[in-house]
Structure 1
Amino acid sequence: MEQLHLIMRTNEIRKGGEKAALATIIRTKGSTPRKTGSRMIVYPCGRIEGTIGGGCGEALVIEKAFEVIHSNLPLKQRVDLTKGLFYEDGGICGGIMDVFIEPL
């Protein structure tokens, strides 16, 4: 249901001329918090709709989404969750996600 809402919201943003970026998980390997096809919309003000998993990986994608909004150029970001597999690091997933981030 959440993914359908994000697809509808993406269409509204495109039609309305609002600026934002859409992050979509396009590939996963190993244990990841979300799977291929999960989406998140990032707005210039920092507000998000949806999630690609939270934590440091999502924070990295949000940072890159701001770059995409500014440049109006898409990019692919690898999120490696295999580094720092200790509880103190805030996550123990241990997988890798490739995320496509496109301007809306």
Structure 2
Amino acid sequence: MRSRNIFDSLLEIKKTGKKAALATIIRTKGSTPRKTGSKMLIIEDGKLIGTIGGGCGEAEVIEIAIEVICKQQPAQHQVDLTKGLFYEDGGICGGIMDVFIEPI
């Protein structure tokens, strides 16, 4: 999804007063599904706009984004695609992504 849609959605959230979190990949190492600067908007009603790569890694970030929305405190999370379920599931990526998640 194009970044413009995320920014349009941010304006809409501001107008409606909904809560959301913006997840941005701030650093990558190795093979990752998306690169630095990729964004995903997580709205309190569960709607997602954009992607940071899908799969288990994105699900981890969504979970943390929900906490960020509730606490209204930013967080940083590292998604390690080199081990555990990511690796065992036969994923084609094998890198690391650092994601900054901020409340909106």
TM-score scaled by length of structure 1: 0.89
The alignment status of 1:3 with 2:25, answered yes or no, reads no
Regions of 4+ moved over 4 Å: none
The residue identity in structure 1 corresponding to 2:54 is G
Structure 1 partner of 2:54: 54
| TM-score of the pair, normalised by structure 2 | 0.89
1:90-101 matches, within 5 Å, as 91-101=91-101
User: Identity over the aligned pairs, expressed in percent?
Assistant: 65
The answer as to whether partners of 1:21 and 1:102 remain within 8 angstroms in 2 is yes
Q: 1:90 Cα shift?
A: 5.3
Per-residue CA deviations over 1:53-94 (Å, capped at 9, x if unaligned) read: 0000000000000000000000101000011423xx152300
CA RMSD, aligned part only?
1.5
Is 1:36 the counterpart of 2:36? The answer is yes
Residue 74 (structure 1) aligns with: 74
AA of the residue aligned to 2:30: G
Amino acid in structure 2 at the alignment position of 1:32: T
- 2:10 counterpart letter in structure 1: T
* Paired residue type of 1:13: I
SS in 1 for 2:79: strand
Closer/same/farther in 2, CA of residues 45 and 16 from structure 1, 3 Å limit: closer
SS at 2:25's partner residue? strand
Provide the rounded CA distance (Å) in 2 between the counterparts of 1:19 and 1:42. 9
